[in-house]
Chains A and B, each alone.
Chain A
């Protein structure tokens, strides 16, 4: 729960943002945040921390929420944002599909787009103004296959459930390519639509999984869908391990009273217990928002901070901000973020190590 002081700070920040939005001269750079409401907290915290760190108020922050993560919605949102005078950068969107759909709009408008968690392979081809805080999925597919090999060195029946969009299709392709080299049997290959949570559909998929009798389930979809699929899957497959892609790293956004997440393994790029700063961030985040911080939150936080750093450095246009990002680790030092030093590759990616995180039981947590 937010404390009264924190709420006051946020309230003042909101008022300040609104005032700046209304009264700021046109030439002041504008930084926009376009994420799920559940992911915006980390961005707010980053803006707050930047202000606390003494960053001059040389920019305005515009926060827009995504609701479903659909491409069409992302395009509409991007169109609205690029109409904003002074817009130089956008932190968003919530997933690969929406980020990829909006990327052309930003590139056409010469506005930097920094996606915190979008790992779709195609995003690397989106354009010169498209950046992301994570590596592309071709490496994650290999990591997942190696994980399966490591956990089942004698072979395993693999069931693959993926979301049929840019994220799921790309990650599935890289996983299948990696599995082909191992000789492990793919006993199930089922797709679903990200928003289709009809019980019949879930039941049919679960039944198919049960019939396939897999040794391991590879979940290449997002946390929200897994949250819906977990109960029937557990019922049908028992303790069969479920290894998910990085999209499940946002599982804390879907925590309820039950403990269905316990034991689910997922890929992450940030180990919140790796050092004191991350632990402090996690603690502060949870203290501020009343929910656990995820690796995605850290990446969102870092994404906002690196763009603010660029604006502070004098980037008053999208082109200058892009120049700032590409110069990190080259013409200027790498940006020291919570998730580590940020240096963008030529394709706009950040090279990171893939981590396999097992979601602990939530029982006993407040």
Chain B
């Protein structure tokens, strides 16, 4: 594996910029150099043209001056003209000499040599002419003509030479123009090529060195986002991206590790949570059982008292009926039956309250009669309060409907009562006062006691917080109260009263009157006579009950409806009776040996569906889930034990009608 360090992107950018800048600088320098050189060539050409023009002018001027001197010497014969002639000749020769050292073509050089030779001949002839003039030689004219002839030859040669030079200059200018065009085109092409090349190079660089790594990182990030923590970024990138990728890989590895840890912790937490839930359920049940247990003594006493009254008055009634058979019925009714009936109803209420509290409830939160729930708790704890010498006052609680769940609300009241009782019982006195403040939207309940007050009011709702001795409390009672209140959408607060004792403030949502009207209040004892019916035709009622006393009670009560009663102590004989007898109504217990009343109802629904609507359950376990499930759509098919005789007869009469 190679150990070479990846090159830095910054360095690559710098190198790329340096290369591009260098190439651009070189290209520009080249263009500038070529342009400058061409400019210098043009300047040199221009200067050469001007110089040659000056040289040619000097030559022509010199020749003209020499010819003029020759002409003047004809008239004046002045010796100073000889000097002027020589000076003019020197100027001409100087011009020709300058031409000699120029870069000339062979024809040009031949022509300029011809000019020079003609000039030499011109001078020689002119000198001869001037000399002959001074000596009055007859051949002067001939020599002068000869000089003029050389002058013309000279001018012709010079003219030819200058024409060639002009053509050369024109050619040079054309060549320069061509070179300038080529340079311009070349510069444009060069700049275009560099622009395109630079763009492509930069694009390629960005694609290879930036876009691809970023795309790779983006894809890797998306993979991470999808939960694939095993993704890793390839290594072949520049230093910056390499470090970023390394960091990314480390992050992915850390995330994978963290996720694994989290999953392990989640699993542990789930397991622990399940254990806590189980423990919580157990504790709640334990708390309920504890509460029930604490109530058992009082409840037993509460039941024993009416049972003792019932038993005593029944025995007295039996003695009176035996010893004084003529005793008037009204006396018997008021002296013996009424106390018996009153105490039996009291017992029924106690039992129903206990059942309601003890049963599990999965009912949803909804409108609940506050006072009804409070009465259940009051009935359960009334004796305990009385025994402890503590007064329980709920007289100022109106019959309002609040948002709650009935069973949990009963538990709330029961726990608050137990808590107050535990606080005040050791002193053997005190009072628990429950009052309500009702507004349009809320119901506030104030639960005040005269106890020693709360040690830490802010902590009383914490789970497992208790100030009681070991084994005296679980620390869950008030925590459950708070949780239940929260589930109602309400609140609960605890504080110490200024006058002494504790105060719990419960806030409920006040439900409107319509919801209130939908709730049917528990029926109150009715003192009207039991219903009796004179049947137009004989009807048959099948009673399935395993308890003999209850069989006799059914038979006795049904006799008032003028029907034939057929009794079965279990489901199989009931089915046998159904096979041979037509029944108008069926009354069945739920819990019986063998098949239950629910099984029997399902069988009836399948085999004799016409009788399903005339089926009435009479049971003390009205909250059984399977029963509730069987009664879906038929809530009137249930009568709770212990039932009221009047209600019993009304319900059966309705089935028979």
Contact = CB atoms under 8 A, between A and B. Distances in A.
A200 B137 CA distance: 12
Interface stretch (A188-196, A273-281, A358-366): A188-196
A200 B93 CA distance: 27
Contact of A204 (B97, B103, B128): B128
A240 interface: no
Interface in A26-81: 70-72, 75-76, 79
A169 interface: yes
B375 to A, nearest CB: 136
B100 A122 contact: yes
A126 B101 contact: yes
Interface stretch (B57-65, B118-126, B519-527): B118-126
A308 interface: no
Interface in B127-176: 127-128, 131-132, 135, 137, 139
Contacts of B209: none
A235 interface: no
A258 interface: no
B116 interface: yes
B109 A75 contact: yes
A105 B101 CA distance: 10
Given A79-B106, A104-B104, A72 B135 contact: no
A71 B117 contact: yes
A137 interface: no
Nearest to A176: B86
Contacts of B93: 169
Interface in A163-177: 164-165, 169
A308 B117 CA distance: 34
A100 B123 CA distance: 20
B103 A104 contact: yes
A95 to B, nearest CB: 14
B101 A71 contact: no
B265 to A, nearest CB: 93
A108 interface: yes
A50 B123 CA distance: 46
Contacts of A101: 100, 109, 113
A160 to B, nearest CB: 12
A83 B132 CA distance: 48
Contact of B97 (A70, A122, A191, A200): A122
Nearest to A190: B127
A151 interface: no
A155 to B, nearest CB: 21
Contacts of A353: none
Contacts of A127: 101
Interface string A199-234: 011001001100100000000000000000000000
Given A164-B120, A196-B124, A211-B135, A105 B106 contact: yes
B132 to A, nearest CB: 7
A125 interface: yes
Bin the interface of chain A by size: 20 to 34
A193 B131 contact: no
Contacts of B137: 204
B382 interface: no
A262 B417 CA distance: 174
A208 B124 CA distance: 14
B110 A193 contact: no
Nearest to A100: B100
B398 to A, nearest CB: 133
Contacts of A75: 106, 109-110, 113
Given A72-B114, A72-B117, A76-B110, A125 B101 contact: yes
Interface in B96-112: 97, 100-104, 106, 109-110
Contacts of A122: 97, 100
Contact of B113 (A71, A193, A200): A71
Contacts of B127: 190-191
B124 A200 contact: no
Interface in B49-80: none
A50 to B, nearest CB: 32
Contact of A201 (B114, B123, B128): B128
Contact of B120 (A72, A104, A193, A200): A193
A100 B116 CA distance: 12
Contacts of A125: 101
A191 B106 contact: no
A72 B110 contact: yes
Contacts of A79: 106
A104 B123 contact: no
Contacts of A192: 124
A58 B172 CA distance: 42
Contacts of A200: 139
A138 to B, nearest CB: 15
Contacts of B120: 164-165, 191, 193
A109 to B, nearest CB: 11
Interface string A95-137: 0000011001100100000000000001001110000000000
A164 B123 contact: yes
A191 B117 CA distance: 13
Contacts of B128: 201, 204
Contacts of A211: 135
A101 B108 CA distance: 12
A104 B114 contact: no
A111 to B, nearest CB: 15
B133 to A, nearest CB: 12
A104 B109 contact: yes
Nearest to B126: A191
A196 B121 CA distance: 9
A132 to B, nearest CB: 16
A196 B100 CA distance: 24
Contacts of B121: 164, 193, 196
B113 A72 contact: yes
A75 B109 CA distance: 8
A191 B82 CA distance: 13
B195 to A, nearest CB: 44
Contacts of B139: 200, 204
B188 to A, nearest CB: 36
Contacts of B131: 190, 204, 208
A79 B106 CA distance: 7
Contact of A191 (B110, B113, B116, B124): B124
Interface string B189-222: 0000000000000000000000000000000000
A165 B113 CA distance: 11
Contacts of A207: 135
Nearest to A188: B131
A192 B103 CA distance: 29
Contacts of B113: 71-72, 75, 101
Given A72-B114, A75-B113, A200-B139, A104 B124 contact: no
A105 B123 CA distance: 27
A360 B355 CA distance: 177
A105 B82 CA distance: 36
A71 B106 CA distance: 12
Nearest to A200: B139
15 contacts: A76-B110, A100-B100, A101-B113, A104-B100, A104-B101, A104-B104, A105-B109, A164-B121, A164-B123, A165-B117, A190-B127, A193-B120, A193-B124, A196-B124, A207-B135
Given A125-B101, A191-B120, 7 more contacts: A79-B106, A104-B102, A104-B109, A189-B82, A193-B120, A204-B132, A208-B131
**Which 8 residue pairs across A and B have the least CB separation, nearest first?**
A71-B113, A164-B120, A79-B106, A72-B113, A193-B124, A191-B124, A164-B124, A72-B110
